[in-house]
Amino acid sequence: MRKIRIVVLIFMISGSFTVQSQTVDNVPLSEINVTYIEFTKIGKVFSPKVRIQVDFGQDRSRGRINESQITDSDGRVIEFNSLVDALNFFDQLGYEFLEGNRSHIERVNIDQYLLRKKKTLLDSANIPRQN
């Protein structure tokens, strides 16, 4: 029983470091406190994995290739199994899907998703009542 507790404790601690160490433009995901975010799929040729570029209103004028992508503590870009995998990831961060858009530019599909911070019961309690 004691070994199980130790294993669970190690798993919980390593999981909390993982969430804290993921960043976008060197901003930890846990510190991004905005209402809306948008992410865009960045495909890799001949790869089933997808990368996403995240826009939360940050300054993206520097324009380096890995900017605005989610990276781990070693600076490696996080890859997702699919766009649904990325949506589930952001759901765990407290965001909900609002709308998706696909456009075509020079035979390339561009998928964009708009997400919003989930409304809580506290938020709905602050909405004025209409008679």
Contact criterion met (CB below 8 Å) for 45 and 32 = no
Whether the model pTM is above 0.85: no
pLDDT digits (tens, 9 = 90+) for 55-101: 988 876 766 555 789 999 898 999 999 999 999 999 998 999 999 99
Which amino acid type is present at position 98?
L
